[in-house]
Amino acid sequence: MQRRLTTQLANQSGLEVISFQHCDCLVFSRGETLKMFAPHSKRVLGGTAQDRIVTGDLLVIFDADLEPLRSPSKRFKFANFATYAPIANFPSTAESSMIIEGVVDEHFFRQIHDLLAALPVSKSEWNAKFGPDFFTRTMIDRCVETVKYLRKGD
């Protein structure tokens, strides 16, 4: 279901999809970092089974940390990632995240793009913004710092 939703959103938005072992992601930016969104849907509280919204995680991985799975698979794995942030931390995205007749509001994609664009693009920029010890912190601590940083601009 997650992979199907990602393909549906990619077809609507024209974004590239990258497949990992456990999920597919929409790629918003490529470079030293890959800035991606791993979508999934959930049922709207009080709605019917067909009433769904898109939620998911912002995910930033350094390109050097991508490893292709064994051939013939076209999927990748990663041992580490720079950071992630559930979009549930940004309530403004909820308004445009409703899936209506298989389509999500274009504003939703712009909001995800803007959040990811606000994040650094290189390891040196990450260190400058978040401190030289950022990548030695736990994943949860990095997530918390990322959310705090993005909320300042939200």
Task: Note the pLDDT of residue 32.
Answer: 94
Helix (H, G, I), strand (E, B) or coil at 12: helix
Task: Note the pLDDT of residue 112.
Answer: 98
Q: Dihedral through CA 112, CA 117, CA 119, CA 123, nearest 10? A: 130
Task: Note the pLDDT of residue 38.
Answer: 97
φ/ψ bin of 14: left (φ > 0), alpha (ψ from -120 to 50), beta (otherwise): left
Q: What tokens were used for 14? A: 């024209």
- The predicted model gives 108-125 an average pLDDT of 96
**At residue 82, what are phi and psi to the nearest 5 degrees?**
-65, -55
Task: Note the pLDDT of residue 154.
Answer: 47
Contacts of 90 (CB under 8 A, 6+ apart): 111, 115, 150, 151, 154
What are the start-end ranges of the E strands in 63-129?
Answer: 66-68, 76-78, 83-86, 98-100, 103-104
Q: How confident is the model at residue 138 (pLDDT cuts 50, 70, 90)?
A: very high
pTM of the model: 0.92
